[in-house]
Chains A and B, each alone.
Chain A
Amino acid sequence: MTDKVTLTIDGQNVTVDKGMSILDAAKQIDVRIPTLCHHEDLCVAGNCRICVVEQKGKNTLTPSCATPAEPGMEIETSTPKVRKARKDIMALLVSEHNTQCTTCYRSTNCELQDLAAEYNIDNDIYISVVKPDLNIDKSSWSIEKDDSKCIRCQRCVRTCAELQHVNALAVTERGKDMRVSTFMHLPMNEIVCTNCGQCITHCPTGALTERRYYDKIWDAIDDPDKHVVINTAPSVRVALGEMLGYEVGTRVTGKMVTALKKMGFDSVLDTDFSADLTIIEEANELLVRLKKAFVTKEEVALPMITSCSPGWVKFIEHMYPEHLAHLSTCKSPQQMFGALTKTYYAEKKGIDPSKIVSVAGMPCAAKKYEANRPEMRDSGFMDVDAGLTTREIGHMIKQAGIDFLELEDSNFDSIMGESTGAGVIFGATGGVMEAALRTAYFVITGRPVPFNDLNITPVRGLEGIKEATIKFEDCLPEYSFLEGVEAKFGIAHGLINARQIMDQIVEGKSPFVFIEIMACPGGCIGGGGQPIPTNDEIRKKRIAAIYEEDMNKPIRMSHENPEIVAIYEDYLEKPLGEKSHHLLHTKYRKRKRY
């Protein structure tokens, strides 16, 4: 039992694993210690000092997040000395802070505001030293950076380094001039930033936020000339409730649809439809590549890697520009949806596509940027006019005065509102892979994938890199070249794990034929546009909700979605056909790493 330590916190004994911080030990007995620079996902920084506690026998205060629990420690978390120190720290932070809560996007969801309210800072302890000359950086389509609200906790810097391995942000200058900034203070749209938005969800304040477009959407809704269509991604429905009074992990699909209709969207559709479509196109693309590799022995890039996460796509464009051939040419579900909204949907509904405003409700910050990529205009218009985050949708529902808890459920509109369980699980890491395998296995063998209830469990869960092996037996004649092949499939989420996968590919050592990569830890359910906070506990609950939704769907394989069958019959003709090629596939570009 040497790997346990016992200490007392506020007079209570607590026994914890050796190496655990005083902060976490306190959490175990429900003693709350305030924090700012600490985040469960990140390494310890210990720079804000708000978490100080008093340790018996020591003159100075101890930062509880950065100090491991030791046997026999006697810790007090709320002595006059501790309270005074915390209040002083808060007052200093506030004296440097451009406190504008009434106009701040993070108001009521801000860790600094919460603590300031708790400690009730007198304005006049320290004179305000807010720097007036800090401009808000709105250069990026996705990220807004306002240094005047930054408390320099460096959570964003650690996020971008430890979770994403992009290192777009760094601490620059020193002393009173210290900032969290970019290379040479370049604007966010000129650096290696992937727009993943993880820095936003890890920022305790309003210093990093997504660019907001909801005013534009309200204008479109209010314009009688415009037909406003929204499609919502799978992970929005399992997280939106968090902003509107529900427990983490509650599915609010039906209420969300009702709310969006009430707000005045002309049509509320399901991104899962185009997720199903992505699966058909992507599975077929994979089979074509395999055929080239096995049968006609052509030069072809394998493993193939998914391309539905725009943060990941920009990452590989910057970091591995020589390896873009590995990316599937499929557009993301959002962009497929957009291209079809202004073509297929417009045609079927008899609406002039120039009058359609297509909106995407996404868990994502990078989707905003993706919508604005110049090549995403295959319908002849901007395929997607605006991307909204889950957070923005939550705000809009509140702005509309809708009592969300009291809403009845309703169903997505048609057409392009029908989806399967396979489309739903796109929202969780491993989900695209699972959905693709459900369909690919069926196409190859004519039988469902041999897992209990179609649940391909090895690809699920929060492990950074996962793999699954599937053996193809009794293949249909057309795929006899895969007979007996044991294929390995890889899944990575969080760009730091993507890097490992890519380094393997660069060295020619990748064991996989097909890989799913999501930029955000946990996949879209942990996306940069999701409600704040996000941590592993929350990710797990959202993931559980996604699989629950999948199990509740009558159809759970993409190729069985009746609207998918219909769109190929009526419009696209066949997977990877000419229309698909034009509307559903895309190209990538090399970008600079430095």
Chain B
Amino acid sequence: MAEVKELVKKLSKKYGKTRENLIPVLQGIVDEENCLSKAAMREVAQEMDISAAEVYGTASFFSFLNTKEDGKYKIRVCKSITCDMKGKQELIKVMEDMLKVKLGETTQGKRFSLLETNCIGLCDKGPAMLINDEFFTELTPEKVREILGDYIRNKY
């Protein structure tokens, strides 16, 4: 708890305490803590003198500001129209089989989360996905097997 408090103080000092700096502050917390806990959101509300509901409203609008604790590796498959039409559904099936989880879930041990995201601006090279900050384009089921297989085998 004390750590979260410190972090929030540090971030709000860095970005500013006013309402328009809410998003960078929240992003900073996610970078450090991997997710926005209840306690962290309450701290932010207090620090910025806004309501907790407002913080949660903002956080829940953005898929990258997750309020649930996700896995270490967050796989985000684009669900917007171009990628959808180019076959993202099939990619998800492949990964569901490989990770033994359903879309939206996290593997045991919290290593991987299989998520969707809105358009990530790679529509010309769809279907596209992100694993944390790394992006992958023009995906096919084979490519996905290879990429994810590499993560499963080599990245902890």
Contact = CB atoms under 8 A, between A and B. Distances in A.
B45 interface: yes
A191 B57 CA distance: 14
A504 interface: no
B90 interface: no
B50 interface: yes
A170 B51 contact: yes
Nearest to A169: B53
A593 interface: yes
B59 to A, nearest CB: 9
Contacts of A191: 52-53
A167 B53 contact: yes
B61 interface: yes
A555 interface: no
A183 B53 contact: yes
Given A167-B54, A182-B53, A192-B51, A173 B46 contact: no
A593 B46 contact: yes
A172 interface: yes
Interface in A152-173: 166-173
B81 to A, nearest CB: 13
B56 A170 contact: yes
Given A167-B50, A167-B51, A184 B56 contact: yes
Contacts of B45: 594
Nearest to B53: A170
B30 to A, nearest CB: 16
A297 interface: no
A174 interface: yes
Contact of B60 (A168, A172, A192, A594): A172
A169 to B, nearest CB: 6
A167 B45 CA distance: 11
Contacts of A183: 41, 51-53, 55-56
B38 interface: yes
A115 B57 CA distance: 30
B57 A184 contact: no
Given A593-B46, A594-B45, A173 B54 contact: no
B66 interface: no
B57 A170 contact: yes
Given A170-B57, A594-B46, A184 B51 contact: no
A169 B56 CA distance: 10
Interface string B8-50: 0000000000000000000000000000001001100110001
Nearest to B55: A183
B67 interface: yes
A169 B55 CA distance: 11
A168 B56 CA distance: 11
Interface in A189-206: 191-192
Interface in A554-594: 593-594
A166 B61 contact: no
B53 A168 contact: yes
Nearest to B51: A167
Contacts of A172: 56-57, 60-61
Nearest to A593: B46
A181 B41 CA distance: 16
Contacts of B46: 593-594
Interface string A321-340: 00000000000000000000
Contact of B61 (A167, A168, A174, A181): A174
Contact of A173 (B38, B50, B52, B61): B61
A182 B51 CA distance: 10
Contact of B38 (A166, A169, A182, A184): A184
Given A166-B51, A168-B51, A192-B51, A594 B42 contact: yes
Interface string B85-125: 00000000000000000000000000000000000000000
A184 B54 contact: no
A175 to B, nearest CB: 8
B4 to A, nearest CB: 13
Contacts of B60: 172-174
B67 A184 contact: yes
A436 to B, nearest CB: 33
Contacts of A192: 51-52
Interface in B48-87: 50-57, 60-61, 67
A585 to B, nearest CB: 32
Contacts of A594: 42, 45-46, 51-52
Contacts of B67: 184
B1 to A, nearest CB: 13
A191 B53 CA distance: 9
Nearest to A171: B57
A29 to B, nearest CB: 39
Interface centre among B42, B50, B52, B53, by most A CB within 10 Å?
B53
Nearest to A192: B51
Contacts of A171: 57, 61
Identify the interface centre among A168, A170, A181: most chain B CB within 10 Å of its CB: A170
Contacts of B41: 183-184
Contacts of B54: 167, 170
B127 to A, nearest CB: 20
A74 B46 CA distance: 49
A415 B50 CA distance: 48
A508 B73 CA distance: 52
A169 B54 CA distance: 8
Contacts of A181: 53
Nearest to B39: A594
A592 to B, nearest CB: 9
A280 B29 CA distance: 54
B76 to A, nearest CB: 15
Nearest to A168: B53
B62 to A, nearest CB: 8
Nearest to B45: A594
B15 to A, nearest CB: 20
Contacts of B61: 171-174
A139 B114 CA distance: 34
Contacts of B50: 167
B33 to A, nearest CB: 16
28 contacts: A166-B51, A167-B50, A167-B51, A167-B53, A168-B51, A168-B53, A169-B53, A170-B51, A170-B53, A170-B54, A170-B56, A172-B56, A172-B60, A172-B61, A182-B56, A183-B41, A183-B51, A183-B53, A183-B55, A184-B41, A184-B52, A184-B56, A184-B67, A191-B52, A593-B46, A594-B42, A594-B46, A594-B52
Ranked 10 nearest A-B pairs via Cβ: A170-B57, A167-B51, A170-B53, A183-B52, A594-B42, A183-B53, A172-B60, A594-B52, A183-B56, A173-B60
Interface of B: 38, 41-42, 45-46, 50-57, 60-61, 67
Interface of A: 166-174, 181-184, 191-192, 593-594
